[in-house]
Amino acid sequence: MGFLIYFPETHSAMLGATRMATDLIPEANALGYSPEICSYLTADIGAFVKGVTPLSKIYNIDSIPKPDVLVYNTNQCRDVQDWFKWYGEKFNAPLVGVYTHRNIGDVTEAHIASIAKQMEAMIEPLEKVSGEKFELDKLKEVIRLSRDCSDIWKKILDTAAATPSPLTFFDGTTLMGPAVVGRGTQKTLDVYEILLAELEERIKTGEGAVEGEQHRIYWDGMPVWGRLSMHSKMFSALKTNVLASTYCNSWIFSALDPEDPFHSMAKAYTELFIVRSDEAKEKYIKEMLEFFKVDGVVYHDAKTCPNNTNCRYGMAERLSEVTGIPSLTIHGDLNDLRMLSDEQTKTNVEAFIEQLEES
Ligand code: SF4
């Protein structure tokens, strides 16, 4: 329908990575949004209130662009809905959304059908906003490109199964940018073909992303955006590669099928890790640990994102028991740097790697 898509979550990750977020969060707190809720939401609204954005340096624009319509999905959390509602009121723009099932064990036809129906129901309000008729063939083409993107992104992430791994989780958090915001475009596929060829070449020549790789770690939870470089260097210095994650894998949508667009989109978004039950999540992580030949797991307990934090209800212990793979929980946050202690993280990580060395 000719919409240009802008993702507030991605903007907020940029606020985190540029370490602007922590100073902006109090602006949203002053409007009644608690420091305990999603620091993507609070940093992003704070940036809008203060009139700052890292986009101005790159695109020379002054502020967050004005939306014609806001579209949310509650599959991650309710925070996205509240966050978009705030912008909807600010810009007097309509708000439409999809309400997702949570804590799903087996994905059933009933789950999928209810989500597909909600997606189809968005056509009419979106046509009204855009003034253009919905064309099924155009959607099929976007789904085809999105599926191709998902497939190549999976191949890229799977290269980390090689020993040594040519890729780190920290690389993945920035390299996933095209899959997040450019999914459904040919340009993204072109970029990823170059990247995949480079990674395959590194595997051939035995060039690892971490020199002298001795330990292989799986990361569960959000990255700490303002500490990507620091964490990457810290693990690298310990000859440890954090090489795979639940987070980067979230942009793999293997169910997408251009011949069955609404049903397959609903299936892909219902099979997502974040909406699944602990049993389904544990089964998935267990498979990942085997596939990537991992010898330790790091769980990030992100203070303001319970939705992407999986270690609060015994999962780490249960998985360790069945796999024999030890784990470490680090306390922090995706965007709010006041929620973490660098010293404590460093001490805990060093002790954990020492434990791996002794085992
Ligand atoms: S999943 Fe977490 S980080 Fe993402 S929008 Fe929801 S609360 Fe924020």
CA gap 35, 339 in Å, rounded: 10
Residues 209/171, Cβ–Cβ less than 8 Å: yes
8-130 and 136-358 have identical folds: yes
Element (H, E) at 301: strand 296-302
307 lines ligand 1 (CB under 6 A): yes
Please work out whether the CB of residue 175 comes within 6 Å of at least one atom of ligand 1.
no
Helix axes 261-270 and 109-121, enclosed angle (nearest 10) = 120
pLDDT tens digits, one per residue of 199-232: 999 999 999 999 999 999 999 999 999 999 999 9
Mean pLDDT of 98-124: 97
Fold observed for domain 8-130? Rossmann fold (3.40.50)
pLDDT for 229-255, tens place per residue?
A: 999 999 999 999 999 999 999 999 999
pTM, two decimals, is 0.96
Domain ranges of the chain: 8-130, 136-358
Residue carrying structure tokens 């540029």: 18
- Supply the DSSP string of 106-144, one letter for each residue: S--HHHHHHHHHHHHHTHHHHHHHH-S---HHHHHHHHH
> For ligand 1, is residue 145 a contact (CB within 6 Å)?
no
- Cα-to-centroid distance, 162 and ligand 1 (Å): 31
Which one of 224, 300, 307, 336 would you pick to mutate in the ligand 1 pocket, going by the greatest count of ligand atoms within 8 A of its CB?
307
Given the candidates 2.40.50.140, 3.90.1150.10, 3.40.50.920, 3.40.50.11900, the CATH classification of the domain at 136-358 is: 3.40.50.11900
Greatest Cα-to-Cα distance within the chain, rounded to the nearest angstrom: 65
pLDDT tens by residue, 39-84: 999 999 999 999 999 999 888 888 888 999 999 999 889 999 999 9
- Give the tens place of pLDDT for each residue, 308-351: 999 999 999 999 999 999 999 999 999 999 999 999 999 999 99
Helix (H, G, I), strand (E, B) or coil at 93: coil
77 touches ligand 1 (CB under 6 Å): yes
At residue 139 the predicted structure's pLDDT band, cuts being 50, 70 and 90, is very high
